């Protein structure tokens, strides 16, 4: 089994999250993509972050029609802050050694990886899949600590859309795949801003998510 792990705050889940999951699944022949909504940060109530129960429920509704998608409550059920390294170790144990795990992450978030807990262990723990995000260049990875040297020309070719995939070996790890996806320019923060200002959402959200937000008056 090849399983993609796709973590996020999903505050709320939007059209581009689903597009990333579909395209990564198809391009890497994954059997399943598991969405992992983050839990509530302890002692940090935030006006803009909907409670984990709502974010979890929105993801559940957004993916329920697709049998190759699943949701995990591994982070939501934790009372303390979850670290990705613990999530990966927990799921490795749950799925067993015959399952290959692929950690799916947007380029913007991947650039923050060096500040994450046990980042070098995390990078080696499973196959990393970094997907393009409008406004962020793969070339920025040139200077990223933790990574082996990557040829600038290959990164530039991804940015220029002359190439749509680059596989990079990770010493003592499994591997890193950079995937250029068709640009999808939606962010959850833009959706929250639109909701707050009562602007149209056009088709930024899956329909069941939009009706859930309206029903519970979120954001």
Q: Residue numbers of the site for ligand ATP (CB under 6 A)?
A: 8-11, 16-17, 20, 105-106, 108-109, 131, 133, 184, 186-189
108 or 164: CB nearest ligand ATP:
108
Give the CA count within 13 Å in the CB-facing half-sphere of 28. Answer: 35
Could you give the 3-state DSSP secondary structure of residue 103? Answer: strand
- Among residues 131 and 166, whose Cβ is nearest to ligand ATP? 131
**CB 98, min distance to ligand ATP, A:** 26
Token pair 């070339």: residue? 139
Closer Cβ to ligand ATP, 5 or 168, answer by number: 5
Q: Which is nearer to ligand ATP, 154 or 187 (CB)?
A: 187
Judge whether 195 and 219 are in contact, CB under 8 Å.
Answer: yes
Q: Which is nearer to ligand ATP, 151 or 185 (CB)?
A: 185
CB of 105 to ligand ATP, least distance (A): 4
Cβ-contact 100, 3 below 8 angstroms: yes
Q: CB–CB of 175/169 below 8 Å?
A: yes
Nearest approach in angstroms of CB 149 to ligand ATP is 24
C-alpha distances (whole Å) from 200 to each of 9, 17, 190, 196, 206 are 22, 19, 11, 11, 14
**What is the nearest approach in angstroms of ligand ATP to the Cβ of residue 143?**
19
The residue whose Cβ lies closest to ligand ATP is 106
d(CA 35, CA 13): 10
Residue 156 CB, shortest distance to ligand ATP, in Å, is 19
């Amino acid at each position: 089994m090849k399983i993609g792990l796709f973590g996020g705050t999903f505050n709320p889940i939007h059209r581009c999250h689903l597009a990333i999951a579909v395209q990564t699944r198809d391009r890497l022949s994954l059997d399943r993509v598991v969405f992992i909504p983050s839990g509530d940060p302890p002692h940090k109530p935030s006006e803009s972050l909907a409670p984990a129960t709502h974010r979890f429920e929105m993801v559940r509704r957004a993916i329920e029609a697709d049998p190759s998608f699943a949701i995990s409550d591994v982070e939501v059920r934790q009372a303390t802050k979850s670290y990705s390294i613990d999530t990966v170790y927990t799921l490795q144990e749950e799925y067993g050694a015959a399952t290959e795990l692929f950690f799916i992450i947007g380029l913007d978030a991947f650039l923050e990886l060096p500040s994450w807990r046990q980042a070098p262990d995390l990078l080696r723990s499973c196959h990393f899949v970094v997907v393009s995000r409008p406004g962020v260049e793969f070339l920025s990875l040139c200077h990223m600590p933790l990574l082996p040297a990557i040829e600038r020309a290959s990164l530039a070719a991804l940015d220029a859309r002359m190439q749509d995939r680059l596989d990079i070996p990770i010493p003592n790890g499994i591997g890193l795949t950079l995937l250029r996806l068709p640009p999808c320019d939606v962010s959850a923060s833009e959706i929250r801003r639109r909701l707050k200002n009562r602007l149209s959402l056009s088709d930024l959200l899956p329909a069941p998510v939009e009706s859930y937000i309206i029903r519970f008056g979120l954001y």
